[in-house]
Structure 1
Amino acid sequence: MGRKHRISRFFLAVVAALLTAALIKEFPGEGAAAAGSAVNRLLLERAARTCLAGVVYEADQAEADPEAWLLRRVMELIPACVYTEKCLAAGTEVEDGKTYQMILAGQENDENVVDEEGNLVGENKTAQASAAPALPAIDTSMEKLQNYEYLLGNFYTVDSSTMADAELLNAEKLLGKDLKIDREVNGPKILIYHTHSQETFADSVPGDVNTSIVGIGAYLASLLNDTYQIETLHHQGVYDLIDGKLDRSMAYQMAEPEIAKILQEHPSIQVVIDLHRDGVAEGTHLVTEIGGKQVAQIMFFNGLSRSRANGTISYLPNPYIEDNLAFSLQMQIQAARKYPGFTRHIYLRAYRYNMHLAPRTLLVEAGAQTNTVEEMRNAMELLADTLDSVLTG
């Protein structure tokens, strides 16, 4: 029996018990027929006294199921019953596999921070301009960052379905975390992969993986390996093709066991980067000019496993939320100091996006389908330098 019926029968039992007790007290020893008449009189009397005139079972109101009739009347006249049912329904976790998979699949479209027309959500309008000049440096002093409203307004965009607060976004705590990697351990230190490997750009060559997001990831890996001497593993697994057709409905679920396996096989990996590109309206060009180059703007994305409606999403646990937030904020602050205008606001969303697999995990939205491959490669140069600053000091 479901919660709704359990609650309803509880209230019905209470009403019945009260009526029975009153009947026995006022009409002791009467037969069944007399008792029925007595019940009707008692209902009228008690209803008049308590202003519940609706709970009167007249003969011309009789229904095939008196219990259903009484239940309906009680629920109409005692709103607390209805409120209790709704509260419990809202707090109920996923009850079947199909619903669970549907909710998880919702991640696939949510990382693109755009509205139905493809326009950016919660972004400064200059971010949508073509070849926007570099913005002036923003104040990143701790005095400013400790002001929650300042921090939120200048560095974050919080999705309307997501719960964030000053306790979660505590700049002093997040920036105080030591994220430096151990470079002495043998083996790769950084893992780069792509949940959506089929993402391409304005001038990508069909069939040429080097001009897709995978090729951009390969370039980032080469920069980290060769320029910064941070051993990096680039995983090129495909998770958004099913039977040769583009299908992202299960990409995060398909990627999770493979990434977990790689981390188990390479315990030296201390940083995980899921590299994407965004999807925007065709008139939007996420580009800025830095050092005389046209550079695709990037965005760090955090899944919080908590929603505004229900709080913590217990079936999407992530023990590394604070670590992930520290990583993205330290990257954001470092980029703001070195390359003003390079990063868009950090986007916070309710789901998890496989960010529970490692404490230093970044989901990066680099550019969009309207950027060129060259703009993307230029962005990887700045991203690699920013990573080196945060991870090695």
Structure 2
Amino acid sequence: MEDIWTKRPGQTKAAAPILLLAACALWIAAGGSRGSWRYDFQNQILAGAEEMYMPGLAFLNRAQDKGAREWVREKALAWLPLVSYAEDHAVSSPAIEDEETLAKILDAQANDENAVDENGNLVGEPEPAEAAAQPAAPTVDMSIEKLRDFDYLLSNFYTVDSSTMIGPEQLNADDLLSRSMKIDNTTGGPKVIIFHTHSQEEFVDSTPGDPATSIVGMGDYLTELLNEKGIETIHDTGVYDIINGQLDRSNAYENAEASVRPLIEANPTLEVAIDLHRDGVAEGTHLVTEINGKPTAKIMYFNGLSRTRTNGDIDYLYNPYIQDNLAFSLQMQLASESLYPGFVRHIYLRAYRYNLHLLPKSLLVEAGAQTNTVAEMRNAMEVLADTLAHVILE
């Protein structure tokens, strides 16, 4: 096929700036959310190219007639494949999803909140050594001056899944650390509710069919520990991932919300909701450290951003408490690092919601994995309870 540029003398030179801008946009988009300037500039460069070289298209983008705008945009971008590719991989406005797409997104939310790749290897952080568990020492600077640096904060405390993105306006240390996570413990009534979207998660030495040795048993122990500390806690042991006698996580988050929300409404003193899970990792991975002389399962705090990289905010997974959720997990992360270095993995950010919209102080915890022992998990609950008390009690 004849090159289109050979048919239009003089256009090669005119096209060069467009291709340069498009290449820049592609490079920036590929950079993900790793820097605040890249995060802001990736949209600006596309808009600039549009204004400079396709002013009519830019005008249509500001118009109300979305149908005409999208038709012209599609035809124009057919001539600029690099710009089209960059646009597909940059931040875009929310899309109205069809039922099939919605089903796929809800399925992704239901089945995968683990920070591992398809082989079970940890994403965004090094694999732990296979040697005996060793006590750790603080390795990161947690001063407010360092935390105000978006790149530093992101790289030292977070793993961002490829399905989503986050910018400095959300990971603003001053904002997140200024939000009080303290509970009002002067009034009666329960303050914390613990539940398990995935109640069937077990450990390497769990007794099959014995909930006391599963993640539900860890919830029982954490509830006991918090009550002992004067934090009145209730434990919902409902099963949301078994349908007709079979493991089925397809609607586990929806099922859990349907039961947990009425409990929250019936107990208006509740301020904290904790969905307690255990992770799923490669069989050779052992998430363990040594704390107070005891082998202790490592944990991970988890946030859903209700935003995909491709389509932007997910309106039908709306969460008004995202910033509070982020504040809670960051304050827990910093307290964990300060009190018990080595106990926590990086906070994991994914695209969906995961019932973190139930309360402002909602927390999803991935405690250990299937390769940990029940004893390591119980030790982790002791450390988690102490850290939680440090964050939420006056």
Amino acid at match of 2:96: E
SS at match of 2:335: helix
Amino acid at match of 2:365: V
1:191 partnered with 2:210: no
After superposition, the CA RMSD in angstroms is 2.3
Deviation at residue 186 of structure 1 after TM alignment: 1.7
The aligned counterpart of 2:127 is: 125
SS at match of 1:381: helix
SS at match of 2:275: strand
SS at match of 1:94: coil
Match of 1:148 among 150, 153, 166: 150
Answer with 1 or 2: which has the greater Rg. 1
Amino acid at match of 1:240: D
Cα pair distance change 1:78/1:386, threshold 3 Å: closer
1:327 partnered with 2:328: yes
SS at match of 1:106: helix
Identity percentage over the alignment? 59
Cα pair distance change 1:182/1:106, threshold 3 Å: same
1:342 partnered with 2:364: no
CA contact (8 A) 2:190 2:269 kept: yes
Deviation at residue 166 of structure 1 after TM alignment: 0.9
Deviation at residue 284 of structure 1 after TM alignment: 0.4
CA contact (8 A) 1:216 1:377 kept: yes
The aligned counterpart of 1:207 is: 209
1:93 partnered with 2:96: yes
Cα pair distance change 1:237/1:146, threshold 3 Å: same
Distance in 2, matches of 1:103 and 1:311, equals 13
Cα pair distance change 1:82/1:103, threshold 3 Å: farther
Amino acid at match of 1:171: A
The aligned counterpart of 2:354 is: 353
Q: TM-score, normalised by structure 1?
A: 0.76
Deviation at residue 331 of structure 1 after TM alignment: 0.3
SS at match of 1:125: coil
SS at match of 1:295: strand
CA contact (8 A) 1:300 1:362 kept: yes
| Counterparts of residues 365-376 of structure 1 (less than 5 Å) | 365-376=366-377
Distance in 1, matches of 2:290 and 2:141, equals 20
The aligned counterpart of 2:240 is: 239
SS at match of 2:110: helix
Cα pair distance change 1:314/1:131, threshold 3 Å: farther
The aligned counterpart of 2:67 is: none
Distance in 2, matches of 1:80 and 1:164, equals 27
Deviation at residue 124 of structure 1 after TM alignment: 2.4
Q: 4+ residue runs of structure 1 moved beyond 3 angstroms?
A: 77-92, 128-132
SS at match of 1:354: coil
Per-residue Cα deviation, 1:307-334 (whole angstroms, up to 9, x for no partner): 2222211111000000000000000000
Q: How many residues align?
A: 316
CA contact (8 A) 1:130 1:287 kept: no
1:270 partnered with 2:271: yes
Amino acid at match of 1:384: A
Question: Which blocks of at least 5 consecutive residues in structure 2 are unaligned?
Answer: 1-70
CA contact (8 A) 1:112 1:278 kept: yes
CA contact (8 A) 2:192 2:273 kept: yes
Deviation at residue 116 of structure 1 after TM alignment: 1.1
Deviation at residue 392 of structure 1 after TM alignment: 0.6
Distance in 2, matches of 1:132 and 1:171, equals 32
CA contact (8 A) 1:209 1:215 kept: yes
CA contact (8 A) 2:199 2:215 kept: yes
Moved more, 367-376 or 146-155: 146-155
Distance in 2, matches of 1:374 and 1:102, equals 37
Distance in 2, matches of 1:90 and 1:268, equals 37
Distance in 2, matches of 1:220 and 1:78, equals 58
Deviation at residue 80 of structure 1 after TM alignment: 4.5
The aligned counterpart of 1:17 is: none
SS at match of 1:315: helix
CA contact (8 A) 2:94 2:315 kept: no
CA contact (8 A) 1:130 1:285 kept: no
Q: TM-score, normalised by structure 2?
A: 0.76
